[in-house]
Copies of this chain bind each other. A is one copy, B any other.
Amino acid sequence: MKASDILEHHLVKKTTPRVALIQALQTAGRPLSEHEIKEQMGELYDRVTFYRSIQTLSRSGIIHRIVADNVMVKYALNQCENGHQHQVDHAHFYCRECHNLFCLKNIKLQSLNLPAGFVDEEHDLVIRGTCEQCNDLI
C-alpha cells in the first residue's frame, strides 16, 4: 500500500516527513534503527521530527518499536492482514556483532496473562547474542 494511503487510512495527516519515514521502512522491508532510517531519508531527516513521527505512527497503529537492546531500537511497519493489525507475536534475535534483527517466527508468544490492573502497551521477547554468520567470522 502507498505510504500516503496508509496515513489516510489511519486518519493521520499526510506530511512529507511521515511519508518519507514509512517509505524508508517499506523500501527496506525489515525493521530499521533510527540511524538506518536517517540514511534512507537523507535531507528529509530531522531528529526531533523523527521521534515525534515515531510516536504518532505508533499510537495510530502504523508501526511498532522493537527494543532490540538498550541503545538499539528498531522500528517496523505493522503488517495489515485482512484489515486488522498484526501485533508482534514472535520473538526476535538481535546480533550484537552485525546489529541485525532476526524474526524468530517459530518462537511464538502465548497470550500473556498479566495480574489484574496491569496493562500491556508493548512487549518484546528478545534474544541477544551472535548470529550464525558472525559466529563463523569470529
Copies of this protein in the assembly total 2
A36, B73: Cα distance in complex, Å: 23
Give the chain B neighbours of A127 by CB distance below 8 A.
112, 114, 118, 120, 122-123
A109 to B132 alpha-carbon distance, docked (Å): 23
Main secondary structure of the interface of A (DSSP, over half): strand
Are A113 and B107 closer than 8 Å at their CB atoms? Answer: yes
Question: Which residues of B sit under 8 angstroms from A107, Cβ to Cβ?
Answer: 112-113
Contact code string A108-125 (vs B, CB < 8 Å = 1, else 0): 010011111111111111
A-B contact pairs, 24 of them (CB 8 A): A67-B69, A69-B70, A70-B71, A71-B71, A91-B112, A93-B114, A96-B121, A106-B113, A109-B125, A112-B127, A114-B127, A116-B132, A117-B131, A117-B132, A117-B136, A118-B130, A118-B131, A119-B129, A119-B130, A120-B128, A120-B129, A122-B128, A124-B126, A126-B126
Identify the A interface with B (CB < 8 A).
67, 69-73, 91, 93, 96, 102, 104, 106-107, 109, 112-133, 135-136
**20 further interface pairs, Cβ-Cβ under 8 Å (given A71-B71, A126-B126):** A67-B70, A70-B73, A93-B118, A102-B118, A106-B113, A107-B112, A107-B113, A109-B125, A117-B131, A118-B132, A119-B130, A121-B129, A121-B130, A122-B128, A122-B129, A123-B125, A123-B127, A124-B124, A124-B125, A124-B126
